[in-house]
Structure 1
């Protein structure tokens, strides 16, 4: 009878140990899942900060433009109200405004497109109207995801045409 009693408690002990290991395995899997989701959320948060800094920088520099000097699909040069030449270009997977990279170290530029419009109409060759809006599409990768940022910036018009009345 003593032998049966020992065997029975040993079986119980083994079952308890197996149950504890299964529970700890599920707990570890839950921890890994939560950690993975947190890392993804953190990367998305950093990418959102990159987008905010990017749009603020573009608005700050392009919005002050007095005159566009070179307007291409992937870069532009402009003079601000103080006459300072500002160059916006893609170089080495970075978006540079002047010498400053507008993307963070973890973000790599994939594509940049600028579109120009004059009085609400897209700027086409042969149309010499004043450009009053610059639309942009910027695609960059951060971590394992690719993000896209689209927006437009109205240029401050310093030279106004077709004024009637006395100035």
Structure 2
């Protein structure tokens, strides 16, 4: 950690404040955002003990011209090591409970809700309402044990480079 910090300081000294200041401003905002979410969650639990569970949708894309929302996203980043076995078997695995919650939420949204999964150098994008998943309890006895939504890769759009990803996202975002 100290070596990384020393390298950052050395690079910052060479590049100047325009390089490192935006990074630290972003990190402060990110930490404040995490704290606000925690405090709000804690407040809801205090006001209504055991009454609610809070979840988030990670990103919502708005058209700059019309200012209308065009798509909402649940973002997942997985190492290729974690995703590889399922992917090679023609499947993608996401948390089953979250998948079910997002299906319910998607039915109430007037904006389409997508999963955006980044696994190594591959991307998978799918509209939550458009896919069917088998729910399976997996990885018993490990820290990864949970209910998984197992989704066939053939039901999702897959990109292995940014050119393919741009084509997929153009369709998703209506461009």
| TM-score normalised per structure 2 | 0.24
Structure showing the higher helix proportion among its residues: 2
Computing the radius of gyration from Cα coordinates, the structure with the larger value is: 1
| TM-score normalised per structure 1 | 0.25
Structure showing the higher strand proportion among its residues: 1
